[in-house]
């Protein structure tokens, strides 16, 4: 006589027997929650929040990819849940067929799904923090470390994980309820074998899909420009809808992949017919999965491309600067003079050459200004006599500093820009300059550009005729006067010297210069005089502190930040560390999520088609043939979304780089080359996971 | 015939199955009247059952045959309340199934019907004994009486030696005999079998048919079986031939089994040529 069992014990036994099925569901739930909690923990950590300016492009990109990752996690969690229920349905159906009512089955089923989804979700959430801590510390250990990299958490990020956890558990319960509600028991029993074919389009849909993607990319990228040029307005958020064709195109490409494949079958229509038909009959979910994987890989590439596109151009710029040391300061500051600097240099065994210095003045510069309407989007252009600060040099001073022959006609001005003429601080519309002490004005006209990278920063820099310069600067107090200095090292430069000099330099300034380059003194005076509030008085971006002189924000924003080549080159990665590491982390998370989706999809194809593989074996299919079929299945899941995701993002980046100024600069070409190398590395990682997935599936199918 | 002989011997030894008293509620166990059922796929509607009507008497062993798509399995699924039907009347033991709520239908499936699937549908995580007891388990606690009955049924069908094994460890024939034992555990009004020999070799198939015959003879079970197999059907008292969702013809066994099988084959041939 066996041991008597009741319903609960029976359910326990069945659960135990279904461990393998539950494992995939547990794994996916765990991964999803781990990824979400890790991403949100890092994204919302004070460490990252301090560095990513609120409302800035980088922050927007970070949030956008987070949403994409969230969608990816939702998709694979729901899919794993679907798989779990597909298997479970056979069991449920048999019990229903044998007379178990909904009421009888419900407690056990809900207990099981709540237990499985709840426990895995809680474990995943808890694992998210050690996961992000581990990766972050690995970055610090292997790549770069700085005081800003110190990771702190804001545990309000748990709110995101909690929402996702509730979503997971809620959806699991909803799915369980839907299964119990079904009246067609035979459908429940046969659920595992029910196909979900996708609506086919012709063979045109794939190539047409690529054209639609291209059209979407051009439309999406061009829409803000069109708003600006045609309607004199900043593009509202909804303009991003113009990117929608990209998703339609991606869907068409994935549909083509699933239904037709990309190889021509005219010569041999029966080649791969089995793997194609297997995919086709689970088409709906497969297409959705491939779409999500494509977006995740594209998102990951988008994040990882941030590093070379920013890093390479900065490093190339540093390398190409004409002087090793360049700095500027306000005349009322007690800054170390040449002798003091040379003495410091000697301490480090350095001598200097090509020492040049000259005076400049800071004037109020007129210019066309965008005056926004009440909606904050539409604007009209209006000339404002004191639009903002400008650093102004005389012809002679400019000649001394740049070594260039400079001739400025009286009553005109030249504007400094970089060699590529990509500087955003140029001003071609000024009709005059204002002495901010005496309020004397000088009428001028724009006469052209001069190129000198060291003089290009957030504040416009101009050159006036010597006499005009003398006339307009007369009576200026020292706070509106300053000095440019540049020199080279005779021989090999020394980082310790540069570092020591930098700290000496910063510490020589008083509080009046503790301001951001975005804090425009001329604008401040103008607004005060108009009785208006100046935006920079209450904006974080305009607040910096000498105490954080090594921080990313300080070095990015300080109005007198010097250009010391060796310091910039060495500290670049450290200064950008948080931003770079955040994007690197995003890339890791996106890639990881994409690989989990691919793995889950391949697993589901194998599980759902197990009986086909069994039938093929019975029909005499050789192991080599079966191996080919498995590879072909996995190949489609891994290869097409990876290639489309990687290269569409590469093309989008190339398009953006080209569209910025109608050309691709040398540093941009180098950055694109680095991006291609990164794509190669990503390809190798994906291939390695593909191979292990194939191996795992073959083991499961007994091939 | 080893398995069948073993079963027969067991029956001789274990006849004392007092709980299998012949049911006396009604002469007609299953009553089908004007039954309609259609499936919808997208915009297309396929009428599968087109006004079927017949009845099965208590203790009768009836088979339904017909070509693929004739509606055999759909008919069986409607009777077993696995799928809802569109129109008509089904009475089981004199009680109409239409209009019953989900709980009542579950009770009917549990206590009034024993179902045997073509692919056995045993639960992999449970032993053979536990599988036989599943209909009792879903009722609530399994009492000693039920366990005793499960053992008796196992003895009766020659599967006593595998009671503690799992489905993965036993043969197809043993699985199906386990499924038959499971269908009988609640002393149902009728056993519904969907191609019970379809996945079995001829020897195992024959053994399963023998279990039905013994269940009918010794326990008074009423059996309604869908089959493609004219050999299996030839053991029945009556065979209903279905074609295109309608009853084409009914044949009663009045002669020897082999003669009845020939009659069946002729009728099927005639039906196919129409």
Containing structural domain, residue A358 = 324-565
Cβ neighbours of B83 in A, within 8 Å: 183-187
At A285, list the tokens.
Answer: 């979910």
At B108, list the tokens.
Answer: 């009917």
Are the C-beta atoms of residues A148 and A47 closer than 8 Å to each other? yes
CA dihedral of B236, B242, B247, B251, whole degrees rounded to 10: -30
The count of domains in chain A is 3
Cβ neighbours of B40 in A, within 8 Å: none
Residue A143 CB contacts under 8 Å (≥ 6 apart), including other chains: A573, A577, A581, A584
Residue A530 scores a pLDDT above 50: yes
B144 touches chain A (CB under 8 A): yes
The CA distance from A343 to A649, in Å, is 52
Cβ neighbours of B71 in A, within 8 Å: none
Nearest-Cα distance to chain A for B266, in Å, is 33
Query: Which residue of A lies nearest to B110 if distances are taken between CA atoms?
Result: A99
Task: Tell me which residue of A133, A159, A168, A131 sits closest to A26, measured CA to CA.
Answer: A168
Cβ neighbours of B115 in A, within 8 Å: 97-98
Task: Tell me which residue of A168, A160, A149 sits closest to A44, measured CA to CA.
Answer: A160
Cβ neighbours of A184 in B, within 8 Å: 82-84
- Give the Cβ contact number of residue A416 at 10 Å: 25
Residue B4 scores a pLDDT above 50: no
Cβ neighbours of B140 in A, within 8 Å: 6-7
The CA distance from A15 to B125, in Å, is 8
Quote the pLDDT of residue A193.
67
Q: What is the pLDDT of residues B227-250, one digit of tens each?
A: 989 999 999 999 999 999 999 999
Let me know whether A598 and A688 are in one domain: yes
The CA distance from A31 to A74, in Å, is 11
Across A148-272, the runs of DSSP E, i.e. the strands, are none
Let me know whether A59 and A190 are in one domain: yes
Let me know whether A524 and A596 are in one domain: no
Nearest-Cα distance to chain A for B8, in Å, is 23
Residue B24 scores a pLDDT above 60: no
Which of A147, A167, A194 represents a domain boundary (last residue)?
A: A194
The answer to whether residue A199 sits within a structural domain is: no
Cβ neighbours of A16 in B, within 8 Å: 125
Point out the residue among B124, B138, B163 whose CB comes nearest to the CB of A104: B138
Q: Count how many pairs of residues, chain A against chain B, have C-beta atoms within 8 Å.
A: 104
Task: Tell me which residue of A296, A291, A261 sits closest to A276, measured CA to CA.
Answer: A261
Residue A243 scores a pLDDT above 90: no
Residue B7 scores a pLDDT above 70: no
Give A370's strand partners.
A381
Nearest-Cα distance to chain A for B142, in Å, is 6
Nearest-Cα distance to chain B for A96, in Å, is 7
The answer to whether residue B205 sits within a structural domain is: yes
Q: What are phi and psi of B156, to 5 degrees?
A: -60, -40
Q: What are phi and psi of A315, to 5 degrees?
A: -65, -40
Q: Please state the length of chain A.
A: 703
- Dihedral (CA of A346, A347, A349, A354) sign: negative
Give A356's strand partners.
A486
Residue A266 scores a pLDDT above 80: no
Let me know whether A540 and A681 are in one domain: no
Let me know whether A630 and A526 are in one domain: no
Let me know whether A555 and A656 are in one domain: no
Quote the pLDDT of residue A269.
64
Band (A198; pLDDT cuts 50, 70, 90) = low
Let me know whether A27 and A133 are in one domain: yes
Local structure of B198: helix, strand or coil: coil
Cβ neighbours of A14 in B, within 8 Å: 123, 125-126
The H-or-E segment that residue A463 falls in is: strand A460-464
Interchain proximity A2–B134, CB inside 8 Å: no
Nearest-Cα distance to chain B for A600, in Å, is 24
The answer to whether residue B202 sits within a structural domain is: yes
Identify which has the larger pLDDT, A273 or B236: B236
The answer to whether residue B25 sits within a structural domain is: no
- Dihedral (CA of A528, A530, A531, A534) sign: negative
Cβ neighbours of B126 in A, within 8 Å: 10, 13-14, 17
Let me know whether A162 and A33 are in one domain: yes
Local structure of A438: helix, strand or coil: coil
Interchain proximity A17–B108, CB inside 8 Å: no
The CA distance from A451 to B164, in Å, is 90
Let me know whether A99 and A171 are in one domain: yes
Residue A467 scores a pLDDT above 80: yes
Task: For A647-674, give the DSSP string.
Answer: HHHHHHHHHHHHHHHTS--HHHHHHHHH
Which of A565, A587, A617 represents a domain boundary (last residue)?
A: A565
Q: What is the largest CA-CA distance in chain A?
A: 115
Quote the pLDDT of residue B74.
92
Read off the DSSP letter of residue A453: G
The answer to whether residue B98 sits within a structural domain is: no
Containing structural domain, residue B255 = 2-15+57-82+112-273
For the whole model, what pTM was predicted? 0.72
Residue A271: alpha-carbon gap to chain centroid: 41
The CA distance from B32 to B40, in Å, is 23
Are the C-beta atoms of residues A464 and A432 closer than 8 Å to each other? no
Point out the residue among B125, B137, B151 whose CB comes nearest to the CB of A16: B125
User: What is the ipTM for the molecules in this complex?
Assistant: 0.84
**What is the CATH classification number for the domain harbouring B152?**
3.40.50.300
The CA distance from A688 to B203, in Å, is 50
> What does the angle CA B29 – CA B30 – CA B31 come to, to the nearest 5 degrees?
125
The CA distance from A690 to A635, in Å, is 8
B123 touches chain A (CB under 8 A): yes
Let me know whether A250 and A333 are in one domain: no
Which of A135, A166, A194 represents a domain boundary (last residue)?
A: A194
HEC string of A50-70? HHCCCCCHHHHHHHHHHHHHH
Task: Tell me which residue of A79, A47, A238, A296 sits closest to A172, measured CA to CA.
Answer: A79
Task: Tell me which residue of B109, B124, B199 sits closest to B165, measured CA to CA.
Answer: B124
Residue A159 CB contacts under 8 Å (≥ 6 apart), including other chains: none
Interchain proximity A184–B82, CB inside 8 Å: yes
Q: What is the pLDDT of residues A94-122, one digit of tens each?
A: 999 998 888 889 998 999 889 888 899 89
Q: What is the pLDDT of residues A434-465, one digit of tens each?
A: 999 999 999 999 999 999 989 988 899 999 99
Interchain proximity A99–B107, CB inside 8 Å: yes
The answer to whether residue B48 sits within a structural domain is: no
Are the C-beta atoms of residues A441 and A501 closer than 8 Å to each other? no
Least confident of A280-294, A359-373, A564-578, A684-698: A280-294
Point out the residue among A10, A15, A99 whose CB comes nearest to the CB of B110: A99
The count of domains in chain B is 1
Residue range A355-361: mean pLDDT, rounded:
95
Residue A580: alpha-carbon gap to chain centroid: 9
Local structure of A635: helix, strand or coil: helix
Sheet strand arrangement including B44-57: B44-57, B28-41, B87-92, B95-96
Point out the residue among B121, B137, B151 whose CB comes nearest to the CB of A10: B137
Are the C-beta atoms of residues B192 and B114 closer than 8 Å to each other? yes
Q: What are phi and psi of B159, to 5 degrees?
A: -120, 20
Residue A391 scores a pLDDT above 50: yes
Q: What is the pLDDT of residues B105-159, one digit of tens each?
A: 888 999 899 999 888 889 988 999 999 999 999 888 778 888 898 998 898 888 9
> What does the angle CA B99 – CA B102 – CA B104 come to, to the nearest 5 degrees?
75
Cβ neighbours of A187 in B, within 8 Å: 83
Q: Which of A99, A185, A614 to mutate to test the interface with B (most CBs of B within 10 A)?
A: A99
Burial bucket for residue A219 (CB in 10 Å: 0-12, 13-18, 19+): middle
Let me know whether A247 and A291 are in one domain: yes
Let me know whether A104 and A50 are in one domain: yes
The answer to whether residue B240 sits within a structural domain is: yes
Nearest-Cα distance to chain B for A115, in Å, is 19
- Give the Cβ contact number of residue A41 at 10 Å: 25
Burial bucket for residue A625 (CB in 10 Å: 0-12, 13-18, 19+): middle
Nearest-Cα distance to chain B for A205, in Å, is 23
B82 touches chain A (CB under 8 A): yes
CA dihedral of B104, B109, B113, B115, whole degrees rounded to 10: 170
Quote the pLDDT of residue B60.
93
At A541, list the tokens.
Answer: 């971006």
């Amino acid at each position: 006589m066996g041991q008597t069992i009741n319903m609960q014990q029976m359910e326990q036994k069945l659960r135990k027997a279904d461990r393998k099925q539950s494992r995939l569901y547990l794994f996916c739930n765990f991964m999803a929650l781990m990824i979400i909690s890790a991403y949100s923990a890092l994204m919302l950590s004070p460490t990252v929040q301090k560095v990513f300016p609120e409302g800035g492009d980088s922050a927007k990109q970070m949030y956008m990819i987070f949403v994409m990752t969230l969608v990816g996690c939702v998709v694979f969690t729901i899919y794993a849940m679907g798989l779990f229920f597909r298997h479970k349905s056979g069991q449920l159906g048999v019990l229903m067929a044998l007379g178990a009512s909904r009421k009888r089955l419900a407690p056990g089923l809900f207990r099981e799904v709540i237990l499985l989804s709840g426990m895995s979700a809680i474990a995943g959430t808890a694992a998210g923090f050690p996961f992000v801590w581990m990766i972050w510390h690995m970055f610090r250990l292997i790549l770069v470390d700085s005081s800003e990299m110190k990771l702190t958490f804001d545990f309000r990020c748990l709110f995101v994980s909690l929402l996702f956890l509730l979503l997971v558990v809620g959806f699991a319960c909803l799915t369980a309820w839907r299964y119990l509600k079904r009246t067609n028991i035979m459908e429940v029993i046969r659920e595992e074998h029910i196909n979900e074919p996708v609506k086919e389009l012709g063979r045109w849909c794939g190539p047409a899909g690529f054209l639609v993607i291209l059209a979407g990319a051009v439309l999406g990228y061009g829409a803000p420009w069109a708003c600006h040029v045609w309607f004199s307005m900043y593009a509202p958020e909804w303009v991003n809808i113009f990117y929608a064709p990209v998703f339609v195109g991606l869907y068409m490409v994935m549909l083509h992949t699933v239904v037709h494949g990309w190889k021509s079958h005219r010569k041999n229509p029966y080649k791969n017919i089995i793997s194609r038909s297997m995919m086709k009959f689970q088409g709906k979910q497969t297409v959705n999965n491939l779409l999500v994987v494509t977006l995740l890989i594209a998102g990951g590439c988008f994040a990882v491309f941030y590093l070379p596109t920013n890093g390479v151009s900065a490093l190339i710029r540093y390398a190409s600067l004409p002087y090793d040391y360049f700095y500027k300061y306000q005349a009322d500051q007690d800054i170390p003079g040449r002798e003091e600097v040379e003495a410091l240099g000697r301490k480090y065994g350095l001598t200097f050459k090509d020492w040049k210095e000259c005076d400049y003045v800071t004037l109020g510069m007129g210019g066309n200004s965008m005056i926004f309407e009440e909606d904050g989007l539409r604007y009209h252009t209006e000339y404002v006599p004191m639009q903002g600060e400008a650093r102004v040099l005389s012809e002679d001073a400019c000649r001394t500093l740049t070594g260039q022959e400079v001739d400025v006609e009286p009553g005109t001005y030249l504007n400094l820009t970089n060699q590529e003429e990509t500087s955003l601080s140029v001003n071609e519309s000024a009709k005059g300059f204002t002495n901010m002490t005496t309020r004397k004005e000088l009428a001028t006209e724009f006469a052209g550009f001069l190129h000198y990278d060291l003089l290009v920063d957030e504040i416009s820099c101009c050159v006036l005729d010597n006499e005009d310069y003398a006339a307009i600067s007369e009576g200026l107090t020292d706070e509106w006067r300053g000095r440019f200095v540049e020199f080279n090292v005779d021989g090999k430069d020394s980082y310790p010297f540069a570092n020591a000099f930098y700290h000496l330099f910063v510490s020589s300034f008083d509080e009046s210069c503790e301001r951001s380059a975005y804090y425009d003194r001329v604008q401040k005076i103008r607004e005060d005089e108009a009785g208006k509030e100046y935006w920079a008085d209450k904006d974080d971006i305009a607040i910096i502190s000498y105490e954080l002189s090594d921080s990313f924000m300080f070095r990015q924003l300080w109005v007198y930040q010097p250009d010391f080549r060796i310091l910039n080159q060495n500290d670049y990665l450290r200064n950008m560390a948080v931003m770079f590491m955040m994007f690197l982390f995003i890339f890791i998370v996106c890639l990881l999520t994409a690989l989990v989706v691919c793995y889950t999809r391949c697993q589901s194809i194998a599980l759902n088609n197990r009986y086909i593989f069994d039938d093929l074996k019975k029909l005499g299919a050789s192991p080599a043939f079966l191996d080919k079929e498995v590879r072909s299945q996995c190949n489609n899941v891994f290869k097409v979304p990876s290639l489309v995701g990687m290269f569409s993002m590469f093309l989008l980046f190339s398009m953006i780089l080209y569209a910025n100024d109608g050309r691709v600069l040398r540093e941009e070409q180098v950055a694109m080359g680095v991006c291609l190398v990164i794509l190669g590395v990503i390809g190798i990682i994906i291939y390695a996971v593909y191979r292990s997935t194939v191996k795992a599936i073959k083991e499961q199918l007994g091939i | 015939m080893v398995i069948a002989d073993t079963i027969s011997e067991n029956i001789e030894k274990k006849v004392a199955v007092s709980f299998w008293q012949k049911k006396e509620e009604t002469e007609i166990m299953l009553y089908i009247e004007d039954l309609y059922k259609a499936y919808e796929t997208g915009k297309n509607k396929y009428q599968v059952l087109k006004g079927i009507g017949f009845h099965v008497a208590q203790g009768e062993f009836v088979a339904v045959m017909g070509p693929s798509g004739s509606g055999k399995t759909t008919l069986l699924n409607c009777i077993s309340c696995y799928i809802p039907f569109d129109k008509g009347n089904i009475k089981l033991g004199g009680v109409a199934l239409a209009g019953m709520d989900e709980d009542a239908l579950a009770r009917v499936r549990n206590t009034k019907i024993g179902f045997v699937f073509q692919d056995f549908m045993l639960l992999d995580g449970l032993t053979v004994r536990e599988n036989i007891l599943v209909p009792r388990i879903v009722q609530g606690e399994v009492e000693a009486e039920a366990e005793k009955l499960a053992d008796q049924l196992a003895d009766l069908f020659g599967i006593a030696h595998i009671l503690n094994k799992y489905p993965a460890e036993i043969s197809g024939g043993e699985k199906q005999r386990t499924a038959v034992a499971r269908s009988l555990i609640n002393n149902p009004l009728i056993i519904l079998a969907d191609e019970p020999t379809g996945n079995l070799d001829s020897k195992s198939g024959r053994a399963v048919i023998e279990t039905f015959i013994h269940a009918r003879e010794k326990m008074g079970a009423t059996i309604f079986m869908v089959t493609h197999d004219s050999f299996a059907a030839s053991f029945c008292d009556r065979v209903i031939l279905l074609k295109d969702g309608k009853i084409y013809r009914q044949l009663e066994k009045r002669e020897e089994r082999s003669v009845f099988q020939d009659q069946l084959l002729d009728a099927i041939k005639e039906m196919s040529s129409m």
